[in-house]
Amino acid sequence: MKIVCIGGGPAGLYFGLLMKQRNPAHDITVVERNRPYDTFGWGVVFSDATMDNMRAWDRETADQIQEAFNHWDDIELLFKGRRIRSGGHGFVGIGRKKLLNILQARCEQLGVNLVFDCDVQSDLDFPDADLVIASDGINSNIRTRYADTFKPDIVTRPNRFIWLGTHRLYDAFTFDFQKTEHGWFQAHIYKFDDTTTTFIVECPEHVFLAHGLDKADQEASIAFCEKLFADTLEGAKLMTNARHLRGSAWLNFQRVVCEQWWLKNQHNSHVVLMGDAVHTAHFAIGSGTKLAIEDAIELTRQFELLGDDPSHITDVLTAYQEARRIETLKIQNAAWNAMAWFEVCGERYCDQLEPEQFMYSMLTRSQRISHENLRLRDKAWLDGYEHWFAQDNPALPATPPMFTPYSVRSVTLKNRVVVSPMAQYSAVDGIAGDYHLVHLGARAMGGAAMVFAEMICTSPDARITPGCPGLWNDAQADAWQRIVAWAHANSDAKMAAQIGHAGAKGSTRRAWDGIDQPLSDDDTEANWPLLSASPQQYVPGVSQTSRAMTRADMDRVKADFVAATQRAARAGFDWLELHCAHGYLLSSFISPLTNHRDDDYGGSLDNRLRYPLEVFAAVRAAWPDHLPMSVRISAHDWVQGGITPDDAVLIAKAFKAAGADLIDCSSGQVSKQEKPVFGRMFQTPFADQVRQEAGIATIAVGAISEADHVNSIIAAGRADLCAVARPHLANPAWTLTEAARIGYPALAWPKQYLSAKRQIEANFERAATQALK
């Protein structure tokens, strides 16, 4: 094959040498715009896994790189006058110039043709090539030329950064945070050879502009950074090797994701993107070079598997794209999380968190490092942090964050786990019966600190289905009193009521008979009229059309909420939550997707919040002052033009001002047009943002399924409580089970079940021991 690699970065060079090594008959040329053995940039970071991969494919190159590596295990934080260090993180760094020089020399040794000082603008310059590797970087000319085919999604991020170096040497991957009169700067610092350290300075755009750095040249920018980070530089100077860039050399990171990775050009040559041309990963986790190297390995692997004759190229590139797409998205998602953390840390974490918790938050920023992973990396540090978080006796075993108590008003929860409200559709005439006693009672005995009943409806026309429970009459209140009293008598769990009105999502069948479908002629009840902020059909063409509420409707529904609240108090519930999420009645006022009113209750967010806040104020006044009250909101509608997480902060501030104690941060279910992005703990960022920016405690919900998730969320300060739903459906004793799984024996079990406690703990201990063998 005749192969041309446009761009002499890690991707093009490494692919060239791998293919030449495997088949010397290939005619391979790497074309680079810079001069021979010249490059820009400072150090790059690898993982041990990438090095193992390189060693398997070309040991000679890997050994040379290994010899040039600087290895360190520690991460050090300099923050608010404190120096905190954690070990076991295993980074390796190498100068970008040294890395490329090794790869260039290896290419020459194998017979790869290197062409320097040649700025290629088009793949069509090589009409006789069978395969063109477009490894021409983040500003790829080839990708731009065929943008309609490659369909790149390019997002320019808001933070500014400048990539510098220094001869001051550091023995840890160091993060230094400095506050100025205009905001926070952070430096990412790591040594990459015996004499030089990478020193990346980053800040938000508004801080950059406030300091006039947009008007500063490189010398002025360097002088500014030297003064700002004088303590850590200890007199050392900062250096730039970006003199080729005009202006200040402060850049914005660009996230690149391409839908298609390859094509055939008009010369019938195959053209494939590689490295930064097809995907970028933010320097916050240092994976750009890793991605480029592993692209080269995977493409080589596919040629080995499918054949390296030109007739196989189409099949090879198809398989290559499929194999790499998922892995690169995983890395990019982790990099996105880490990048986003650094972008908001000045607004969200630097002022709010103590140094200990800030360090934990920073270490877990990508969500790839969890609580137990930190324990594997540095048990002593994590034990110390757990003691700090729990404020317990350092001489005793540390308490995992999920098992620390939490107090609000007069209520103290024994731990941070809550059984989330989960609709059961099993009430008769709105009365919670024996089923609810067994269902909720079992979960009250299962170790969670608090158990929510499913949404309790405030009137017959507030129900989702005929099987939904209510609190619109005394018989229903008596039924709830029986259940709450049983739970209090047989467990130490608190019991919570969530009250709500279905609005336009009401009068539907039970979930197992057709979720969101209107009642049919076979149902025991006829459909009832629906109310909402504005006329709507939740499922277009299927659902009933609701009518807009009048002032009289608002007064009646508010009175129903108050009456239900009074009955909830009489039933003995410890906690009350107002349901303002998921497209139900109060949610329909908040979201612009469902509120099209032109009166005082429509239009601006302040107006759309007016009625939900009226209801909240009335309910808060009716609910005992010594008992907590939370509000569940949809923090993201997942629809263009709907509620955003930034709106959620404003919504939370409004409810906080009205007297709410916590915000339960869910999302979606407002519109069938939604396009949520699912994943583990996928809604936790909403709870995190609301907690830090609105200054109110939060409950995190959504795909929280392990003790490790709960510990990570609580320890990082991303939420104060975690509501766990489906795992509690599968296992009422989920909290007890997870305590045993992570080796925490101090959680009390019901006395009737004590004989099982030691057995399950021993089983988990045995399994953990076996896993280490």
Query: Is residue 457 within 8 Å of residue 501, measured between CB atoms?
Result: yes
DSSP, res 91: E
Q: Would you tell me the crossing angle of helices 707-715 and 379-390 to the nearest 10 degrees?
A: 70
How many CB atoms sit inside 10 A of residue 596's CB?
13
How many CB atoms sit inside 10 A of residue 33's CB?
15
E strand or H helix at 657: helix 645-658
- Amino acid (one-letter) located at 372: E
Choosing from 14, 406, 584, 744, the catalytic residue is 584
How many CB atoms sit inside 10 A of residue 659's CB?
15
User: Could you give the 3-state DSSP secondary structure of residue 342?
Assistant: helix
What radius of gyration, in Å, describes the C-alpha atoms of the chain? 30
Phi/psi at 717 (5° precision)? 75, 25
353: CB partners within 8 A, 6+ apart: 361, 717
Known active-site residue 744: no
What's the distance, CA 589 to chain centroid?
A: 28
84: CB partners within 8 A, 6+ apart: 76, 77, 355, 356, 359
User: Could you give the 3-state DSSP secondary structure of residue 368?
Assistant: coil
Buried b (16+ CB within 10 A) or exposed e, 111-135: ebebeeeeebeebbebeebbbbbbb
Query: Is residue 150 within 8 Å of residue 259, measured between CB atoms?
Result: yes
Closest CA to 132 of 267, 248, 40: 267
Phi/psi at 513 (5° precision)? -100, 0
β-pair partners for 697: 662
Quote the CA–CA distance of 261 and 272 in Å, as a whole number.
Answer: 6
Quote the CA–CA distance of 308 and 169 in Å, as a whole number.
Answer: 46
Phi/psi at 214 (5° precision)? -70, -20
Query: Is residue 571 within 8 Å of residue 480, measured between CB atoms?
Result: yes
Query: Is residue 325 within 8 Å of residue 299, measured between CB atoms?
Result: no
- Residue 525, burial from CB neighbour count under 10 angstroms (0-12, 13-18, 19+): exposed
CA distances from 691 to 20, 349, 553, 599 (A): 55, 10, 34, 32
User: Could you give the 3-state DSSP secondary structure of residue 108?
Assistant: helix
Helix-then-strand count for the chain, H and E: 26, 30
Quote the CA–CA distance of 210 and 180 in Å, as a whole number.
Answer: 10
- Amino acid (one-letter) located at 538: Y
Closest CA to 171 of 271, 85, 289: 85
Q: Which residue has the tokens 């290419």?
A: 107
Query: Is residue 679 within 8 Å of residue 703, measured between CB atoms?
Result: yes
Query: Is residue 622 within 8 Å of residue 566, measured between CB atoms?
Result: yes
Residues marked as catalytic: 584
